[in-house]
Structures are given as C-alpha cells and as structure tokens.
Amino acid sequence: MFNALVVRKDEESGKTSAQVEEVSVDQLPEGEVLVAVDYSTVNYKDGLCIGPGGGLVRSYPHVPGIDFAGTVEASEDARYKPGDKVVLTGWRVGENRWGGYAQKARVKADMLVPLPEGLTTRQAMAVGTAGLTAMLAVMALEDQGITDGPVLVTGAAGGVGSVATAILAKLGHQVAAVTGRPEQADYLTGLGASEIIARDELTEVTRKPLEAERWGGCVDAVAGAMLGRVLKQMQYGSSVAAIGLAGGAAIDGALITPFILRGVNLLGIDSVMQPYDNRVRAWQRIASDLPMDKLEAMVQPATLSDLPGLGRDILKGQVKGRVVVDVNA
C-alpha cells in the first residue's frame, strides 16, 4: 500500500472532495512501467482536477497530478529498467488516468522521457509541465526569429512566466515581465527581468489598429485583454507564443492589422501532445539553458496534504513560481 491524493465525487450532490488515502498497486491503471514517484507539481490543470474537474476528469475516484519525476521500479518495456530516472508530462495523465499525486504511478512507456543528464528529479519537477511549456515557447520564438526589442512575458510571476523569464534572460534577451502583483517585482528582477510592467498598463482595450512597436517576441500565459493589446505592440516580423488563458479564453479587442501590416505570428503552444523527440530536445535545452540557481528561487515546497489548498490558490492566480510536491514527505 502507498499514499495518494484521492479525489472522490458524491454522486448525489455532485460535490468532490480530496484527501490523502492508502491505495494499492492493483488499483493503478494499466501500463508497462511502474514508477516510484519522487516529486510532482501544481499546475493550473491540477487546480481544476483537485476540485470539480473542469471537464478534464473522466471517472472517480481520481488521482490528479499532471506531471511527475521518479525512479523506475518495474518495467515490461526494453527502453526502461529498474533504477532509471524518468520524467513525465502530458498525455492527459492526471486528467483521464491516475497521475503523479501518489507514491507510485503506472504509465505506458511511450509517455516517459529519460531524465536528462545534470538534472535531479526535484529540479525536473521545479521545471515541470509549466517549465517545459516555457521552453517549448522559447524554442518556437527562436524558430521564427526574435527581433531586436525586449521580449515580453505575461503572467510573469506564475509558473510558466517565471521559467520563461529566467530562460530568456539567460539566453541574453532583455525581458519585460508583466505582473498584476507589484510585490513580486524583486522576485522577477532576480529571475533576470530587466523591466517590470504593471498588468493594468496592458489590459485596457483600445480601438487603435496598431500601436508603437515595442516587443521583439512574447510568451503569453494570459490571453484575454492583454493579448489583444500586446499584438498591436509587436515589432514588425516578431512572434507571440500563446501558451495559456489565465486571463480569459478570448483575445479581447484583437484586430487583423498586426498580422497583415506587421507580419506578426501567433504561435499556439501545446505541451500535452508533443512528439517524443521534441520533448527530449526541450528537456535537454532546459538542462543546458535554465539557470539552476534561479530555479531554486521559484520553488515553493509542498506535501500531498497541502494540495487541496494549493489547488484553490492556483485557480485564483495566487501561486508564485513553481510548487514542488514531495509525495514521500
């Protein structure tokens, strides 16, 4: 038996509740690889799945946790042997099958990536799904070409924003970090941001077709009014990597003009269905391009029993950086 955070649903009231329970290996989903989990994390989707599910959870009881890192305990697949360190993100693990908020997880071998050289399982989860997404966003911007101006990061004090800020700064870009939490300015400067921009400055919806060119690239975690506005300020030929919708699912006030008159690219980034080679390449870039000393500043440690509260906090946009869950603590 081992510990897991189990979400149960009361069929009559439809209400969900989450608590730490003992479960057995037989209850885990089918898969070729059994992993002894070291760490998992708290992402926006986890907040949804710890609560009523937001349409992501297929059946109850459910164990959330959309990412984890740990050690292979048993494997029926030749690619993995006991003792190998592995990391998992995506594949809807923690959504429609049991995930990483448990001391053991069983998954298909195709879902795993070997832990890259130089990263510990704790560091891998300090990065986690949010950090992998940040890296994929930076790689997408690089593929299109980052122009001369500062690179804007929105939702900067959140998980994706924090890692994107640190990576871009390490790569030598000027980073303008947008936050609705002015008290996080020192934190963001510490990650390498050269300029802090108040959220309000970029959320006013205007009717102007274009504004002065400001940004050489953008990693956008919030969409909504901010993305509509930012598109009008992108430099000629620059790109926005859109990764999230913390500020709304629409692009408020957006016009076609930035795309036609300035050749702006809007790149959608999805970390869930990334092909194996891309995931391996992104993890290798993380190991080489993410300043590990900065990573520690982003980490808030947690245990399985802290998760119900943290799930509520991340949905309110109140979590700073990355929450790393030690499932064995």
Question: Which positions touch ligand NDP (CB under 6 A)?
Answer: 43-45, 129-130, 133, 155-161, 179-181, 199, 221-222, 224, 226, 243-247, 269-272, 314, 317, 319
The minimum distance between CB 213 and ligand NDP, in angstroms, equals: 22
Secondary structure of residue 53 in the 3-state scheme: coil
For ligand NDP, which is the closer residue by CB, 72 or 177? Answer: 177
The minimum distance between CB 89 and ligand NDP, in angstroms, equals: 8
For ligand NDP, which is the closer residue by CB, 49 or 72? Answer: 49
Q: Is 117 exposed, middle or buried (0-12, 13-18, 19+ CB in 10 A)?
A: exposed
For ligand NDP, which is the closer residue by CB, 106 or 320? Answer: 320
Cβ 168 vs Cβ 153: under 8 Å? yes
Question: Residue 65: which of 32, 87, 82, 33 has the closest Cα?
Answer: 87
For ligand NDP, which is the closer residue by CB, 226 or 325? Answer: 226
The minimum distance between CB 45 and ligand NDP, in angstroms, equals: 6
- What whole-number distance in Å separates Cα of residue 164 and Cα of residue 177? 10
The minimum distance between CB 9 and ligand NDP, in angstroms, equals: 22
Helix (H) or strand (E) holding 68: strand 67-75
The minimum distance between CB 229 and ligand NDP, in angstroms, equals: 11
- Joined together, the tokens standing for residue 24 give 């057995």
For ligand NDP, which is the closer residue by CB, 72 or 242? Answer: 242
For ligand NDP, which is the closer residue by CB, 10 or 143? Answer: 143
The minimum distance between CB 215 and ligand NDP, in angstroms, equals: 17
- Crossing angle for the helix pair 276-289 and 159-170, nearest 10 degrees? 60
- Which residues contact residue 102 at a Cβ distance below 8 angstroms, ignoring those fewer than 6 apart? 2, 3, 4, 5, 23, 37, 63, 65, 327
Residue nearest to ligand NDP (CB): 158
* Buried-exposed string 314-327: b where 16+ CB fall within 10 A, e elsewhere: bbeeebbbbbbbbb
